[in-house]
Amino acid sequence: MTTALDFTVRDIHDQPVDLAAYRGKVLLIVNTASQCGLTPQYEGLQALFDRYKERGFLVLGFPCNQFGAQEPGSNEQIEAFCDTSFRVSFPLFSKIDVNGDDAAPLFKYLRAAAPGVLGSQRIKWNFTKFLIDKEGRVVKRYAPMTKPERIARDIEALL
């Protein structure tokens, strides 16, 4: 059975990261954007990370420019924005597609494992969130409008 931990992705510096290294941790995987009305969610995501990181929780941010071209920058620009604007210290990854033929394999898996409303596998917008348990299984998908703090109880249940 495939899990989220079976994928290798590229970090914000374009280095490969084997997600199996995160076995035993609870993950919140999010497609992000720097110029979106939901961009202030970075603050809430960082707060969750700060609150639970010592207990084995990580947020993994995957920038994506597929929604309203709201992530036009390079990986370097994205990293600088996240640091200066929100003091993001959770892992960020290289910009990817989350829908379509060129979608990152991880996101193809996440979409199939946790379909959205009415069974749709498409990601509708920036800041769609996927909660992953310690063994890499997708537990829940959250809509873009779901504020990070509303996910705290679900994270605690998995820690």
What pLDDT is attached to residue 17? 98
Where residue 87 falls (left for φ over 0; alpha for ψ -120 to 50; beta otherwise) is left
Tell me the three state secondary structure of residue 8. strand
Question: pLDDT digits over 113-159, tens only?
Answer: 988 776 778 899 999 999 999 999 999 999 999 999 999 999 999 99
Short-list 10, 3, 2, CA closest to 25: 3
Question: pLDDT digits over 60-118, tens only?
Answer: 999 999 999 999 999 999 999 999 999 999 999 999 999 999 999 999 999 999 887 76
Short-list 129, 130, 41, 57, CA closest to 90: 57
Alpha-carbon distance 140 to 56, whole Å? 18
What pLDDT is attached to residue 61? 98
Q: Active-site residue numbers?
A: 36
Domain ranges of the chain: 4-158
What pLDDT is attached to residue 1? 72
Pairing, β 129-132 against β 26-32: antiparallel
What pLDDT is attached to residue 134? 98
Say what the pTM is. Answer: 0.96
What pLDDT is attached to residue 71? 94
CATH superfamily label, 4-158: Glutaredoxin (3.40.30.10)
Angle at 23 between CA 65 and CA 79, to 5 degrees: 30
Q: Are 121 and 112 in contact (CB under 8 A)?
A: yes
96 forms beta bridges with 64
What pLDDT is attached to residue 117? 72
Question: pLDDT digits over 32-48, tens only?
Answer: 999 999 999 999 999 99
What pLDDT is attached to residue 115? 82
Q: 63: burial class by Cβ within 10 Å (0-12, 13-18, 19+)?
A: buried
Short-list 155, 113, 111, 132, CA closest to 27: 132
Has residue 54 got a pLDDT over 90?
yes
